Amino acid sequence: MKKKTMAKYLSLMLAAAVTATLMAGCGNRAKSAGQAEAEETTNDTADSADAEDDVAEISAEQSVTAIQNVPLSFSDILFEITPGGDYQTDSVTLTYTGTEIVIDAEEGISGHEDNAIFTALQTEDELLNASNVPNISLTFADVTEEAETLVIAVTLTDANGEKKAEAATAVNVVPEEVAEISDLTRNLKISETLAKYDFNVYASNIMNKTGSDSNIKAVTVKDSNVEFRKPGHYVVTYEVTFKEKVDINGSAVLSADIPTDIEVVDKEMDMILGKDVITENVKAETKAEEKTDDEKTDKTESAAGKETQDSSPASGSADNKSNSSASSSGPSNSSSGSSSGQTAKSSPTHRWKDHTAKRWISNWVTVVDTPARTVYGAQLYTEQADGTWLGNGETYWFENGFTVDDFKTILKNKIKNEGYIGNYVNRSKTVPAVTHEEDQGYYETYVDYQYCDCGATK
């Protein structure tokens, strides 16, 4: 999918636990109900603000569909690794059906040389892309009856040590015989504003692109649990039927299932993903007719006959040509072959040629200038009249040059000079993407009129 900023799909937040001693008396304050509810997002000391530097995110698909023995880009599974702080991606370990492949930032790929289950191949000169995701493709050898789990374990390091993050993606591997309709395996993302999407029409459009020699007979929707206008992940299973039996895992069959992940995305993600989200129902496309060999021969012969006719003199009809030939030995003004003494005159035969011009076909798209981003912050507590504390105080956002260290300084001063309890609540907000509309159209060549060398046009 293009670069995806989709931490919302599967984000695993890791925070390092930092302990320190509160100033004497500060820890004895009573907690309010609101304070207790915020317990999971509350750090106990000013020094624990360092935990913001330890935040790491892994953004991955919930499930994918791969085609047997066909490479699948790893970036279609894992979108982004956000190390957080000074951490760097050290290695990524992939575990699938009990076998492992290790991608080390320094040493490259290992563990796949004798792996008969799945293999990895580096696809770019640089091992990691701008999103810290390995530039590799994965190839799966066996068709799955049910989805198998691919566990993605990331090790991140900095000068002080390492931390780990993990994600899991369900992988469905379908037979290589469906490779010519590979578009059907793509995960679709549908806007929650769309009331209906016809998956049968979508499948039919893909089927129409296959040739007459294809072994695929038909593609239909076998099962769907999609609830439109309700954000979430769903499954649409297509059934592919074959003209002749194919071998799948040792069995000769006439059909195979293709399960695909369908996500109905909310309006916020719709805005972030832009043109990757489907906002209109699919329309049926007509399959181009393929000419048989006999039809192609007939067309060639017809064209040859027309060319012969067009190259004949334009002085009259076929009968007149015969009469003219019969009287060619006599005087030029002979009336032989014509009761009127004159030769019948036909209209001229034109050789039409196409005149072409160019016209602009608009294609307006939304271009993301600055991607949407998440800004983290910390909100202070305020003391109530009954001595309890509520997390409804001032919020400090770590943006525009204001850092965690700046916040720690403020927090320590409040503890020292104002008797503040030392606690705060982690907050976050999403800054929308900055976009603009752009016409990324193209020039189309078309026939605006036809002309003949004689000067006639139409």
Per-residue HEC secondary structure of the chain comes to CCCCCCCCCCCCCCCCCCCCCCCCCHHHCCCCHHHHHCHHHEECCHHHHHHHHHCCEEEECCEEEEECCCCEEHHHCEEEEECCCCCEEEEEEEEECCEEEEEECCCEEECCCCCCCEEEEECCCCCECCCCCECEEEEECCCCCCCEEEEEEEEEEECCEEEEEEEEEEEEEECHHHHHHHHHHCCEEEECCCCCCCHHHHHHHHHCCCCCCCCEEEEEEEEECCCCCCCEEEEEEEEEEEEEEEEECCEEEEEEEEEEEEEEECHHHHHHHHHHCECCCCCCCCCCCCCCHHHHHHHHHHHHHHHHHHCCCCCCCHHHHHHHHHCCCCCCCCCCCCCCCCCCCCCCCCCCEEEEEEEEECCEEEEEEECCEEEEEEEECEECCCCCEECCCCEEECCCCCCHHHHHHHHHHHHHHHCCCCCEEEEEEEECCEEEEEECCEEEEEEEEEECCCCCEC
pLDDT of residue 347: 60
Prediction pTM value: 0.54
- Is pLDDT above 60 for 371? yes
Pick from 11, 16, 23: nearest CA to 43:
16
Tokens matching residue 60: 């991955």
Show the tokens assigned to 11: 């984000």
Residues paired with 443 in a beta bridge: 360
Please indicate whether residue 313 or residue 276 has the higher confidence score (pLDDT).
Answer: 276
Confidence of residue 307 (pLDDT cuts 50, 70, 90): very low
55-83, pLDDT tens digit by residue?
567 888 999 999 999 999 999 999 888 88
- Please indicate whether residue 245 or residue 115 has the higher confidence score (pLDDT): 245
Distance linking the first and last C-alpha atoms of the chain? 47
Q: What's the one-letter identity of residue 39? A: E
For all residues of the chain together, what is the average pLDDT?
77
pLDDT for 218 beyond 50 = yes
**Cβ proximity of 236 and 226 under 8 Å:** yes
**Where do the domains of the chain lie, and which CATH numbers do they carry?**
56-173 (2.60.40.10), 176-276 (2.60.40)
- Rounded CA-CA distance 254/249 in Å is 13
Q: For 38, phi and psi rounded to 5 degrees?
A: -90, 10
* pLDDT in the model for residue 409: 92
204 touches 219 (CB < 8 A): yes
Does the pLDDT of residue 397 top 70, yes or no?
yes
The residues, ordered by sequence, that sit 6+ positions from 421 with a Cβ below 8 Å of its Cβ are 26, 27, 29, 381, 383, 389, 415
Residue 418, pLDDT score? 84
Residues 134 and 109: their CA atoms lie apart, in Å, by 10
> Can you tell me the distance from the alpha carbon of 380 to that of 394, in angstroms, rounded to the nearest whole number?
6
Q: Residue 110 is encoded by which pair of tokens?
A: 């290992």
The predicted pLDDT at position 422 comes to: 76
Average pLDDT (364-383) is: 91
Measuring CA to CA, which residue among 263, 288, 300 is closest to residue 211? 288
pLDDT at 230 over 60: yes
| Dihedral, CA of residue 30, residue 36, residue 38 and residue 44, to nearest 10 | 50
Q: What is the pLDDT of residues 444-457, one digit of tens each?
A: 899 988 988 888 88
Give the model's pLDDT for residue 57: 77
> Which residue in 351, 355, 374, 354 sits closest to 432, CA to CA?
374
Would the pLDDT of 97 be above 50? Answer: yes
Half-sphere exposure of 325 (CA within 13 A, CB side): 8
Distance (Å, whole) CA 106 – CA 78: 20
Q: What is the mean pLDDT of residues 70-98?
A: 88
